[in-house]
Structures are given as structure tokens and as C-alpha cells.
Chains A and B, each alone.
Chain A
Amino acid sequence: MHTYEPPIFELSGAGKIGAWLPETGVPETALPADLLRTDDLAGLPELSETEVVRHFTRISQRNFCIDTGMYPLGSCTMKYNPKIHEDAARMPGFAFIHPLQEDTSVQGALRLTYDLQALLAEISGFDQVCLQPAAGAQGEFAGILVFRAYHLDRGDDQRDEVLCPNSAHGTNPATAAMVGFKVVEIATDPRGNVDLADLRAKVGPRTAGLMLTNPNTLGLFDENVHEVAAIVHDAGGLMYGDGANFNAILGIVRPGDVGFDFMHYNLHKTFTTPHGGGGPGCGAVGCKTFLAPYLPGPIVVENDDQYSSFTPEKSIGRLKTFKGNFGMFVRAYTYIRMLGAAGLREISENAVLNANYLRVKLHDLYPVAYDRTCMHEVVLQGKLKGAPDIHTLDIAKRLIDFGFHPPTVYFPISVAESIMIEPTETESKRNLDAFIAAMRQIAREAVESPELLHNAPTTAPVRRLDEVGAARKPILKYDRAAINGLRGDKATTDDQLEQPTY
């Protein structure tokens, strides 16, 4: 099927409108002539509702998504997004309330927020939760700002370093730098844990804290987590828990019980608020009592069954307008309330079961960076015997032809040719077996007919794209000449446009 859809600007026609608006209906006031826009909104298109809906429906069909198939993007937890969540977030008392209404007029929303704070605290073993951060990276930012505020408040102003294992997500070092800290990288030991000797060598009076993802991005639970925490704490540092991989340990272990002082939750991963093509998310944070006075605000508190907002006394301040991505709170709350404690544990059990099943079914062909029982994801390497010219990228692209979204590739950066697979608990054994069969066939093809991999994908809406060209001469917005330049003999002619002068 030919699925090309032109940029929406090429569908524009003078005088069309896609919304039915009321008349002004009041006596007119003159507009201030010297403050007006002067370009007649040049560059904005004119289309009917029909055309707009058809355009976006057509381009949507050029997407792969969870509802069409397995999406084992490591560290992103692409699990099924329950449909009730979407109905819930759109209820009138949730979607159509203003963030600055009096607390007395939004008691239901405040109650839900308060309850979600408490549920997350219980699941993770922390004392206080704040839901304001909009994404994991902002949760990290909150945490490292809190660490800074805590140390400074104690007069401990020499701590200017944050430690990050080399397997950490890029957001960890980027966050520490954004707060103003120097980043110190810690090595990984031969079993995939934090290298204790390297940690001991680098920790000290300048250490503000360590940012640790556990299970880490190698899919492994750190075997020495207690000891890591003890080393950092003994040096006066704090333990930050990156909750990106929390899906592996719900009801299995609470981060607050293994030495973490602070963590963020990715509601869009673990608690399945939809990823939305890049967001929105929610990077709620939780901490131990001694750090609670520094949390961002507002937080919701309860007194005699009345709910209200509260900002802690030594708060690092506000990280976002209002209280956070409330629509995500509704979805995560719904998820936790429908699963309960046993349901949550079942999630992690199946997530870990599925990942280990993939590991043992593939490790004979694809080297496993650290071949021991993994948690919710497994990191393979795209180094196939007898296929020296095949890279992880080729394997990933060939998976598309088999109907799968490729795993995360080339991350973690500490593993060469990494392929990071997170099947999640919502995949069936039938799908896992199909994925395994595809991976095994790709390994055969890599030796017997490598061109199939080099040319892949061939069944997607487009072939491999010229990313180098895109970066060399960036075209970041619609410009007819630039787009026509790219399209060559397929360029649109004036006759094909309703508004050729566009």
C-alpha cells in the first residue's frame, strides 16, 4: 500500500477552516493598532475538519505501537496500556478542572493525588512522595537538587561531585551537570555490578551522592547493593535510586529497604501511563523522612479528611507550574488500585520470567554481556559468529521486517554492540517464541544472506533514512523549496497545490 502523505501544509486551501466557532456576540472594542501581528499568520495552513482528521489518521498508520505488536525497547517498559486509564483521565471532574481552583472545590482530585503519594511510598519503602516532576529526568533533577540543599543546609559545602556508574542512563550525568555538579564515572565489575574497588577509590568528602539504577541498565540486580550504599553513606554521601527499572521489583524488594535515600518513579514505565510518542510522563519522587523538608512543592496533605496543598519548609522550590501531570496520576492510581499487592508482584514476576526466557533461548547465538539470571531485561550483543560485517543496527532493522519493534540498541554504552531487550510482563509466550524464532533466523541470515540484514527494513513505510544528511543540512520546518529539493523528481508542482504561492 502506498502510504506517502504530504506535509499538511500542501493540503491547505484559502478560506477553509476545520472548527466551527461562535460569533463574538458583544459590542466591539477597537484593537490596539501598534500591537498587532503584521504577517497575516503566514505559514499557518487552512484545512477542513475532514482533511485534518484524514491526514493525521493516515500518518498514524505509519507508526508501530504497543497495540500492534511487541515493543521490547529496553529500559522503556513498553507494556500494554489499559483502556480504562484513558476513560478515567477524561472524566469531567479530572480533565476539566482548573489547577488554581480553591482546594475545597477539588477534593476528589486532591484525594486521588494524596492516595497515589501514599501508594507509591508503600510500594517503594519511602516516607514521603511528591508527584510534581514531569518525567524521569526531572525527578532526577529534583533528587540531586535535594541532595545539594541537604548538604548545604548542614554547612557541608565541599561536596561538588556526583558519582554515576558507566552503565547509567545519559540523563543521570546530564542531570548532575545541570545542577552544577562534577560527574565522576564508576566502573562496572566483571559480574555487572558497581565496581567496589573503583567506588572506594573515588568516593570521599567531595561526594554529594551516587546515582544508581537497580536493577541496572544491564538488566542485573546489583549483588552488592547494601555494600555500595554503606560505602557512599560512610563517606557522607547520599544514595539516589533511578527508578527506570522499577518494573522488575514490585513486591520483590523495596528500594527504601536496601539503602536508597531518594528515588524517582517513571509512572509512564512501571505504572503504564502511555508513552504518547515521547511523552508526557511523570517522574514522581520519594524519599526518607530526613530529606522530606527539601522536596519540591506543592505536595498534598490530609487533615481531618480535608485535603490541601503544602510546600515543605526548606523546599528546593517549584520545578513545574501547578502540581504536576495530573492526568498521569489518574492513570497510575487506577492501575495500582486494580492490581493490589499480589497483582503488582505478579507484574514483576512475569516481567523477569519473560526476560530470562529470552536470555536462555538466545544466548547460544548472541553473546550475553553478563550471563547470569537477569531481571526485567537482558542485554545481548550483536556480534554473530561468521558474520563480521553485521552490526547491531542491521539486526534491529531486520527485526522490523519480522513485525517487531527493535529493542534498545547501542545502550548501555559500556557494552559493545548492545541489544537491550525488555519484553515486559504483558507479552505472551507465543509472542516471545515468535521473537526468539525471528532472532534465530536473523542470526542464520547474517551468515547465509547478509544482504537481507543490510537492506532491512523492506516492509516498513520507508526504507533506511539518511540521518547524516538530515544533520548536515537541517530542515526543521516546512519549506516548500527545501522539501521539493529532497524529493527531486517527485516534488509537488504548482498544479498539485490549492495554494501554490504557499
Chain B
Amino acid sequence: MSHYISITERDRTEMLKAIGVESVDRLFDVVPAEVRFPTLNLPAPLSEAEMARELRRLSAANADVLTNSCFLGAGAYNHFIPAAVDSILRRSEFYTAYTPYQPEIAQGTLQSIFEYQSLMAALLQMDAANASHYDGATALAEGAIMALTATRNRRKIVVAPSVHPQYRAVLRAYTQGLGVTIVGDEDPNTSVEEIAALVDDKTACFIAQSPDFLGTLHDLKPVADKVHAAGALFIMATNPIALGLFQTPGQVGADIAVAEGQPLGIPLSYGGPYLGIFSCTEKLLRKMPGRLVGATTDLNGELGYVLTLQTREQHIRREKATSNICTNQGLMALAATVYTSLLGKTGLRKVAEICYQRAHYAAAEISKLAGFEVVTNGPFFHEFVVRCPRPVTEIAMALEFASIIGGYDLAQDYPHLGHAMLVCVTEMNTKEDIDRLVAALKG
């Protein structure tokens, strides 16, 4: 018997007797006989020690960012995670609980979500944040759907081509059955300001990202004003680490703001689990998807927390719900909460400063190399575009020999840039790492 099961043979006999059947098999008489008890062709079970060995073998077959220096970003960022974050995440009280349906015995989860909502609202300077979405891209797609509901008869979505390509793909996948038109990202050379001119009285929302997919920072305030003048909503996608220094969605007047929360204390984990940060203005609150926690009091007048405004949600409203989301990314929201609390006001600014300064140093050094050109114009954060003398795949191989995970190859998403690499620098890349990258590129 498996070591997770606590029923003995004797227990089983007694239980079957109480139920009134002679064997466990008889509990499944309802299953059609011809398909009952199939033989599953699975590998033989492994003991815990054998399993651990197998897992180590698989893990060792991957090049990790601990032993290699990583200059890859493009939507997932290699940041420092204080040990205290995972120490809290590994508390059974948090990770083996579920959605806090019984608030009296889930105050830990509820208070942490309340603090998460508070921290994210403050970081993004938005009125309210929900308890989380699957990732930044799904938060964006749900934001667009919310805008469609909020603006009623408007069925056009305008999106800038500098929004992360995978986010735009998710947006299209999510809205494919809703009879909407998505425009704006056909020509990658168009500026955000030019795209904003496409917003008209049929447009539900305009979506822009800053820092954008290529790292460029935009002043989105004038754009937001134009969008509002046309009666549409402005959705801003952003990076939470950049907000330690740069313009926030609230500052520029975003109605809905979303972000990938992974940079806030969540490991890269080959793409997930991550965290979709979702926030909006007070005015849109009751159209918001996802769970929300509110403060209240108990019978004794003690402060407590509960799930609230649940009439928006699928378990109450079914087909009339604002979204189908149920399970979210709770534990990842806790990671972001602990991370943001640890770094606080000073730490968040400092991390952003280190990323900004080191990225600019790297760009300056690379631009000195013959054949390489930094094509990002104006201020950028985290990452910048380097035009290379050879295909990026060739360069990547050379970097691999130097234990460097190179930047993202833009050939698939932005072929108009030629042999272009999106180089990302965070506080995890020291000056020595950057100098090694420059030397390796020089060849």
C-alpha cells in the first residue's frame, strides 16, 4: 500500500461491512463492465530515493540561471529572491490550504490577500487590485473583456504592436468567440501615439505597455487622455519592478492596469506558476473579474477579512459571471506580498535603480563593439535591442560556451529588425557578468 494511505486491511474489512458490500471492487458496479478496471500501461513505481535520483537527473539536464549568467528577459525576469520569501511559502498553513471559503479558519490567507491587494494598488497607484490571475497575459485578456462589458456596444480593441507578442496572442485566443475586432499591431513600426489615433467611438479599449516588450519606456499620459476623449478605456500593461522608479498606471490615468507579477519574488520555473496582477479604478470595481478580499468585523468586533463582492463570480452567477476564473495564483500572490514587504519603499526603488543603471552600462559597452548596434532609442528599462552582425542563433551558441544564456532572438516576432537580440539586465547581472558578455560577443 502507498505510504500516503492510512487505511489498514482491518479498517477496510470493517468499513466494507458497514457499507454492506463484500469487496471494494463492488463499489464500482455502476461503471459499465466492458470498460471497468482497465490495465494502465505506466512505468513501474519508484521509491522516494529512486524518484529523487531520477528528478536530479532530469534537473541536471537543464542549463540553469544559477550556474550560467542570464541575459534573457522578454516577459520573465531573473531577479534576486530573498530567502525569507520561500521560507514563508513553504509553511504548510499557507500552501496546503485552499480558497478561503470558511473565513473563521482562513484569516491567514485572507489577511495576506488583503495585504497583497493593498500593496499592488499602492505600487500601481490604482484604486483596487484583485486576488490574482494566472499571469500577466491572461490578466490583460480579462481586462479587455471587462472593457467590452463596461463600454457596452463597442466591439473594437486597439492594441499597440509593442505589447508583448504572447500577450497579444492570448488576447486574440480569449476573444475569438466574442465578435470583436482587434487592430493596431499590424505594422511593428507604428508608434504608440499613431496607434492611439485609431481609437474611435466603436473602440472599447486601447492597450499599451510600458516598459514595452523591447524595454522602451513611454510617456502614456497624453495617449491616455486621447483614449478617454474618445470614450474608450485605457489598459496599461507594465512591469512591477519598473514601478520602483517610473510612471505608474495610476499616474497616467489608466482605467485598468495589469502586470506580470513574476519579478516580485517568484522563480523563473520555466514559465510558471507566475502571477497576473489585475487592478482598476473604483468606477469599474463591480465589473472586475476574480476574487476580492475585504475587511470587516466579527461578532466580537474584532477586525477580520472575508471574500467579498462574490456576486460577480462564477460560483454564484454562473453564465452571468464577469469571468470563469476560480482557482487563481494564490500562493504566488503571497510570494509577491512577502517580497514587496521585504523590499519596501527603499528596496523597490533600489532594485529598479540597479536594473536601470546596469542595463544602460551594458548597452553602452555593447554599442562600442564593431558590428553591434544598440537600436533602442530613448530611455529603457530591463532590456534593449541590439542589432548583431550575425544571426542571433549563432551568437547564442558562442555565448553558451562561455556559460552565458544570451538575449531573446527577435527574428520570430520582429523580423523587420534584422539580426536583433533583446538583451535583459537585472540586479543579478554583476558588472563582471556584463563585461564577460561583452567580451564573448566580441568573440
- B58 contacts which chain A residues (CB < 8 A)? 93-94, 108-109, 111-112
Q: Is A1 an interface residue (CB 8 A)?
A: no
Q: Is A94 within 8 A of B103, CB to CB?
A: no
Most buried by B among A12, A16, A122, A338: A338
Q: Is A274 within 8 A of B318, CB to CB?
A: no
Q: Is A353 within 8 A of B314, CB to CB?
A: no
Q: Is B319 within 8 A of A252, CB to CB?
A: no
Minimum CB–CB distance from A272 to chain B (whole Å) comes to 8
Contact partner of B59 (CB less than 8 A), chosen from A94, A102, A347, A426, is: A94
Using an 8 Å CB-CB cutoff, how does the interface string of A68-88 with B read, 1 for contact, 0 for none? Answer: 100101001011111010111
Q: Is B135 within 8 A of A320, CB to CB?
A: yes
Q: Is A105 within 8 A of B62, CB to CB?
A: yes
Q: Is A21 within 8 A of B351, CB to CB?
A: yes
Task: Give the docked Cα–Cα distance between A398 and B39 (Å).
Answer: 44
Task: Give the docked Cα–Cα distance between A176 and B153 (Å).
Answer: 21
- A278 contacts which chain B residues (CB < 8 A)? 98-100, 109, 113, 131-132, 291, 327-331, 333
Q: Is A471 within 8 A of B308, CB to CB?
A: yes
Task: Give the docked Cα–Cα distance between A231 and B127 (Å).
Answer: 50
Task: Give the docked Cα–Cα distance between A280 and B94 (Å).
Answer: 12
- A339 contacts which chain B residues (CB < 8 A)? 2, 45
Given A7-B111, A467-B306, A64 and B18 contact (CB-CB distance below 8 Å): no
Given A36-B245, A317-B169, A105 and B295 contact (CB-CB distance below 8 Å): no
Using an 8 Å CB-CB cutoff, how does the interface string of B292-327 with A read, 1 for contact, 0 for none? Answer: 111111111111111011110111111111011111
Interface residues on B, range: 35 or more
Given A19-B343, A22-B427, A318 and B95 contact (CB-CB distance below 8 Å): no
Task: Give the docked Cα–Cα distance between A137 and B328 (Å).
Answer: 10
Q: Is B212 an interface residue (CB 8 A)?
A: no
For window 63-84 of B, CB contacts with A under 8 Å fall at 63-67, 70, 72, 74-76, 78, 80, 82, 84
Q: Is A426 within 8 A of B6, CB to CB?
A: yes
Tell me which of B116-124, B181-189, B192-200, B225-233 binds A: B116-124
- B44 contacts which chain A residues (CB < 8 A)? 340
Given A322-B76, A461-B105, A471 and B294 contact (CB-CB distance below 8 Å): yes
Given A44-B344, A278-B98, A326-B270, A429 and B14 contact (CB-CB distance below 8 Å): yes
Q: Is B370 an interface residue (CB 8 A)?
A: no
Task: Give the docked Cα–Cα distance between A223 and B32 (Å).
Answer: 8
For window 29-71 of A, CB contacts with B under 8 Å fall at 29, 31-32, 34-47, 49, 52-53, 55-57, 59-68, 71
For window 234-255 of A, CB contacts with B under 8 Å fall at 249, 251-254
Q: Is A320 within 8 A of B351, CB to CB?
A: no
Task: Give the docked Cα–Cα distance between A108 and B56 (Å).
Answer: 10
Tell me which of A195-203, A382-390, A442-450, A473-481 binds B: A473-481
Q: Is A323 within 8 A of B42, CB to CB?
A: no
Q: Is A123 an interface residue (CB 8 A)?
A: yes
Q: Is A95 within 8 A of B269, CB to CB?
A: yes
Q: Is B368 an interface residue (CB 8 A)?
A: no
Closest residue of B by beta carbon distance from A252: B28
- A53 contacts which chain B residues (CB < 8 A)? 84, 87-88
- A140 contacts which chain B residues (CB < 8 A)? 324
Given A44-B348, A73-B101, A470 and B306 contact (CB-CB distance below 8 Å): yes
Minimum CB–CB distance from B259 to chain A (whole Å) comes to 12
Task: Give the docked Cα–Cα distance between A28 and B353 (Å).
Answer: 10
Q: Is A66 within 8 A of B96, CB to CB?
A: yes
Q: Is B344 within 8 A of A16, CB to CB?
A: yes
Given A60-B108, A63-B105, A486-B296, A22 and B248 contact (CB-CB distance below 8 Å): no
Q: Is A477 within 8 A of B76, CB to CB?
A: no
Using an 8 Å CB-CB cutoff, how does the interface string of A397-441 with B read, 1 for contact, 0 for none? Answer: 100100001101001000000000000011111110000000000
Q: Is A136 within 8 A of B331, CB to CB?
A: no
For window 260-296 of B, CB contacts with A under 8 Å fall at 260, 267-274, 285, 291-296
Q: Is B115 within 8 A of A478, CB to CB?
A: yes
- B423 contacts which chain A residues (CB < 8 A)? none
Given A93-B62, A176-B319, A43 and B121 contact (CB-CB distance below 8 Å): yes
What would 23 A/B residue contacts be, using CB atoms closer than 8 Å? A16-B344, A17-B342, A18-B82, A24-B353, A29-B361, A31-B245, A60-B94, A93-B60, A102-B396, A122-B40, A122-B42, A141-B174, A170-B314, A275-B327, A278-B327, A316-B176, A318-B170, A337-B45, A338-B51, A408-B101, A429-B11, A471-B310, A476-B114
Additional 19 contacts, C-beta under 8 A, given A84-B52, A135-B327: A35-B379, A56-B337, A84-B51, A101-B72, A125-B38, A135-B328, A275-B327, A319-B170, A341-B42, A347-B2, A356-B27, A373-B19, A429-B6, A431-B6, A467-B308, A471-B294, A477-B117, A477-B121, A487-B303
